[in-house]
Amino acid sequence: MSNLLQEIEAQIAGLTTGLQRQNVGTVREIGDGVARIEGLTDAMMNEMLDFGNGVMGLALNLEETELGAIILGDYTGIKEGQEVRTTGKLLQVPVGKELLGRVVNTLGEPLDGKGPIPASTYYPVEKIAPGIIKRRSVNQPVQTGIMAIDAMIPIGRGQRELIIGDRSTGKTTLGIDTIINNARLNRAAEEAGDTGYRPLYSIYVAIGQKQSNIANVIRVLEENGALPYTIVVVAAASDSATSQYLAPFAGCAMGEWFMDHGMDALIIYDDLSKHATAYRQVSLVLKRPSGREAYPGDVFYLHSRLLERSARLNEKYGNGSLTALPIIETQMGDVSAYIPTNVISITDGQIYLETDLFYQGIRPAISVGLSVSRVGSAAQIKAMKQVAGRIKGDLAQFRELAAFAQFGSDLDAKTQALIARGKRIVEIFKQPQYQPVPVELQVAILWAVQNNFLDDVPVEQVKEFQNRLTEFLTTRKAELLARLAREKEIKPDLAEALKAALTEFKQLTA
């Protein structure tokens, strides 16, 4: 008991000695999650402001006679004339491995009912991106487990690859598939005790989405065992525009922690169109001048400063990386709208999903012509380069020739062969959702296509052939796949082994 009294005594003694100067202001106007405050002459840009009762704000507009601040959390209790204090701190969120497997809001507070997060480290939400000295070019792949992407539009660790398409074309699914595949790889490496493998942790940032969709994503991640390697940051449609505006930056800060500590992380911003809309709302209620489509003038800088924070650091700075997969939703396939063109120009390539392909049953509905990866091929494993090098060209030729073939005119043998090959490749790339394919299997299947093992299989049976081949390889030729995964290159003896395995399979199924 006396101990407790002494502690209180010490606390009181500490309080009596220091007379702190505080900078205060008064709320002049409040509404729409934005307050205008008089006074606060010492406030800094992006500083946290204390409104009392645990409500915090963020100073965004420093004007001549007053200050515009956005309020984080519930603003209904704030009244005109109320006192506001500066805190001298920037907005920060908890970071670290403690957040893996958790669902948090923009401020890093748990939403999943699994108790408090015991994080000891905090990172500022806004941070300047790593400079040129710290960076290096990408050289390690992100295996998405989606054949069409890994073969034709490869993504490297530290890259920013945009996923763009109309509503319901499978944009989120691509991101979720990538998370699931990497969780599978992480777990496999953990179980095998492979210390050489660099695990890829994922962060999924849901911005302005329906709660039901977010719940569904979390359920899928949980069912596929991917949640323990994932942080989900949620700013749902019912959350304030201010928290939707800050959510990607909070998620990015969490990812940066992994990068700064020599680890690899992947962040998915789903989606940045809604983020731009939320930012437009915040800017308009702050009375900032509006520009094209009523977006504020700095909407480009908003996304560029966010995406620039994804990087591959060089060995001197820990060798970590942060890969970003921003998602943009287009209207009626219009990629030349304001926000899509902005984000396309910032990222290192895009994966364009088309509604037409989606309804033709080509899923994932990746448009090969419009999708590119500007830096990812440097990170592709050699075996994949060997088998997939010509595929993009083959498919482009096929699309061109397929238009002619519709007229039913007589075609020469070479053209017919090209069309037949193209049709089979399209079939091979069809893949159901949440079923990522390991890269060694992708290589084996594509090797079979390139070496004419599928030419005698009717197009409508290609998928079935592929499924049976997958089963055959995984059950009976597991050591061949393991060798492929280990060597990451098809040397002549491995090619011989693949040829023998495929011939055996063909004889079995004939």
Partner 1 sequence: MRLSKQARRVAKELFARCRVDDRLDEDRVRAVIRRLATTRPRGHVGIARYFQRLVALDLARRSALVESAVPLPPDLRGTLESALARRHGPGLRFTFTENPGLLGGLRVRVGSDVYDGSIAGRLAALAARF
Q: Catalytic residue numbers?
A: 374
Q: Closest distance between partner 1 and the C-beta of residue 135, in Å? A: 42
Q: Closest distance between partner 1 and the C-beta of residue 74, in Å? A: 19
Q: Closest distance between partner 1 and the C-beta of residue 194, in Å? A: 48
Q: Which H or E run includes 357?
A: helix 355-359
Q: Which amino acid is at 503?
A: T
Q: Closest distance between partner 1 and the C-beta of residue 24, in Å? A: 5
Q: Closest distance between partner 1 and the C-beta of residue 67, in Å? A: 10
Nearer to partner 1, 15 or 478 (CB): 15
What 3-state class would DSSP assign to 120?
coil
Residue 423: Cβ within 10 Å count: 16
Nearer to partner 1, 85 or 97 (CB): 85
Query: Which residues are bridge partners to 205 per DSSP?
Result: 233, 269
Nearer to partner 1, 26 or 168 (CB): 26
Tokens of 322: 């942060």
In the complex, the residues that contact partner 1 under the rule CB under 8 A are 11-12, 15-16, 19-25, 38-42, 65
Q: Which of 286, 262, 279, 41 is nearest to 158 (CA)?
A: 262
DSSP 114: S
Nearer to partner 1, 4 or 133 (CB): 4
Nearer to partner 1, 17 or 195 (CB): 17
Nearer to partner 1, 45 or 215 (CB): 45
Q: Closest distance between partner 1 and the C-beta of residue 26, in Å? A: 9
Q: Closest distance between partner 1 and the C-beta of residue 353, in Å? A: 46
Q: Are 126 and 58 in contact (CB under 8 A)?
A: no
DSSP 268: E
Residue 419: Cβ within 10 Å count: 17
User: 33-65 burial string, b = 16+ CB within 10 Å, else e?
Assistant: bbbbbebbeebeeebbbbbeeebbbbbbbbeee
Nearer to partner 1, 42 or 356 (CB): 42
DSSP 128: P
Distance between CA atoms of 108 and 217, rounded to whole angstroms? 19
Tokens of 300: 């480009």
Distance between CA atoms of 96 and 114, rounded to whole angstroms? 17
Q: Are 468 and 445 in contact (CB under 8 A)?
A: no
The distance from CA 344 to its chain's CA centroid, rounded to whole angstroms, is 15
DSSP 489: S
Cα-based distances in Å from 160 to 5, 166, 327, 389: 57, 20, 11, 22
Tokens of 508: 């079995």
Cα-based distances in Å from 107 to 31, 121, 208, 251: 21, 13, 16, 10
Nearer to partner 1, 11 or 345 (CB): 11
Q: Closest distance between partner 1 and the C-beta of residue 25, in Å? A: 6
